[in-house]
């Protein structure tokens, strides 16, 4: 910047204003504007939305906006000023269900959503998760901030389907063109690692990727505590990995400060050479591997699944990711297959996994030792592998070494030893 005249007089504080200041009429002003600015709905995590039409017919009535995702799935959008009422919610559902092709998501935008509508949306989302033709319902509250002579529309998602990132993941929905575009723009040295990282997000529940600019690809995981996807890392075409530490800390997945310290120690362990930023909210590094990034993602997922506030029940499923991470560490450090005993030992030596084991004992009021609980977790991991119910089965080889089932991470190539 130059050293010309001071611009202090142009500083303005943002204050809330009536949305009718910007859009006097919902049908005449707001809906036409939103139809041309669907990118303002990026917090839905549905990727790029393209307008199909406005005023889509619903019997004798009409739907405000019909949009389309990059894979062809339809999104029905119904708008209303003031609080949403039964008419708009019913109209949106009628179109989403009765249209051909059926819409995958319904978005109801209003200034306020009543508690009863939130409960209806949450119920529909819980049912929709387990059905082939389920519809995901978003309730969004719109408001406007004014700063000086400018207005800033705000779209706050108050209800969303917790499984949305699974269906809407850009990779799972076939948006490979945009991802490939990012890979092509990245420097050649980074392309193999970036491709591995992107592949690790494919078909993984709760994970999604967005590429909304020419330079940055963002990695998201679902935080079940808030039912929203959170940007936990970013890849840049110059080969840089940015760790969104601030996003994770601000989402408050921890019950106490000890968990924050464990999270920070994990970052320090995984990424030795990284550049700090103010408050160290967004450290970055250009020296990393796909395995390190996957380890980081697994740790964040573990934190979200197991240590969110008010989570009073023990989640056995969360042990799967702890064990998978420990197996990879054993394979990497010793170049040997990981067997039951070494995995148990690895769980108890890993600060994060050890705390998980101890907490499992406390929540279950078990009189088992940590060794016994960890052993039971590993046995359960192996059983899930045997019956094809382990989500990490495709990532590991299994064979008997000295009559013990042992595991090897496929991404590490051929194992060097069976000792």
Query: What residue ranges do the domains of the chain occupy?
Result: 15-165, 169-293, 312-419
What pLDDT does 115 receive? 83
Calpha distance 419→400 (Å, rounded): 11
Per-residue pLDDT of the chain (419 residues; tens, 9 = 90+): 455 677 776 676 778 889 999 999 999 999 999 999 998 888 787 878 889 999 888 666 788 899 988 767 889 999 988 877 777 677 778 777 777 677 888 999 998 888 888 888 888 877 765 555 678 899 999 998 888 788 888 888 888 886 655 444 443 433 444 677 788 888 889 999 998 898 888 666 677 787 755 578 888 887 665 556 778 898 988 898 988 887 777 765 554 455 567 677 778 777 877 776 666 677 888 888 888 888 888 878 776 665 544 444 456 777 888 899 999 999 988 889 999 999 999 999 888 788 888 877 776 666 678 888 888 888 888 878 887 888 889 899 998 888 788 999 998 888 766 65
What pLDDT does 370 receive? 86
Question: Do β-strands 105-110 and 136-147 pair in parallel, antiparallel, or remain unpaired?
Answer: parallel
Calpha distance 371→344 (Å, rounded): 7
Calpha distance 40→386 (Å, rounded): 46
CATH number attached to the domain at 312-419: 1.10.10
CA dihedral 324, 221, 362, 323 (to 10 degrees): 0
Calpha distance 110→17 (Å, rounded): 15
* Size (the chain), residues: 419
CATH number attached to the domain at 15-165: 3.40.1350.10
């Amino acid at each position: 910047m130059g050293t010309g005249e001071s611009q202090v007089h142009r500083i303005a504080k943002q204050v809330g204003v009536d949305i009718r200041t910007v859009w006097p009429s919902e049908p005449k002003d707001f809906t036409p504007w939103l139809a041309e600015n669907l990118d303002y709905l990026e917090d839905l995590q549905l990727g790029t939305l393209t307008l199909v039409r406005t005023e889509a017919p619903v019997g004798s009535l009409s739907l405000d906006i019909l949009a389309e995702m990059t894979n062809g799935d339809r999104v029905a959008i119904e708008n209303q000023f003031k609080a949403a009422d039964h008419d708009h919610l019913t109209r949106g559902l009628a179109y989403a269900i009765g249209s051909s092709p059926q819409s995958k998501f319904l978005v109801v935008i209003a200034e306020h959503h009543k508690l009863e509508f939130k409960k209806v949306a949450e119920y529909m989302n819980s049912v929709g998760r387990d059905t082939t033709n389920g519809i995901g319902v978003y309730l969004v509250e719109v408001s406007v901030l004014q700063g000086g002579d400018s207005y800033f529309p705000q779209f706050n998602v108050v209800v969303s389907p917790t499984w949305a990132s699974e269906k809407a993941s850009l990779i799972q929905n076939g948006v490979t063109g945009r991802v490939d575009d990012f890979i092509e723009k990245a420097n050649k040295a980074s392309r193999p690692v970036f491709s591995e990282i992107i592949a690790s997000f494919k078909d993984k529940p709760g994970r999604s990727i967005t590429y909304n600019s020419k330079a940055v690809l963002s990695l998201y995981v679902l935080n079940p505590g808030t039912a929203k996807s959170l940007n936990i890392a970013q890849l840049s075409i110059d080969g840089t990995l940015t760790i969104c530490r601030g996003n994770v800390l601000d989402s408050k997945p921890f019950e106490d400060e000890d968990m924050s310290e464990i999270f920070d120690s994990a970052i320090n362990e995984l990424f030795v050479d990284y550049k700090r930023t103010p408050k160290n909210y967004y450290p970055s590094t250009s020296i990393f591997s796909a395995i390190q990034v996957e380890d980081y993602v697994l740790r964040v997922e573990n934190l979200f699944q197991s240590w969110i506030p008010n989570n009073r029940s023990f989640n056995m499923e969360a042990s799967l990711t702890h064990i998978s991470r420990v197996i990879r560490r054993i394979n990497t450090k010793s170049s040997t297959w990981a067997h039951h005993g070494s995995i148990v030992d690895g769980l108890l030596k890993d600060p994060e996994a050890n705390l998980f084991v101890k907490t499992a004992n406390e929540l279950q009021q078990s009189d088992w030792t940590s060794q016994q609980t960890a052993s039971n977790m590993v046995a359960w991991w192996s059983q899930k592998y045997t019956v094809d119910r382990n989500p990490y089965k495709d990532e590991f080889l299994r064979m008997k070494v000295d009559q013990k089932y042992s595991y090897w991470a496929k991404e590490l190539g051929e194992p060097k030893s069976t000792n």
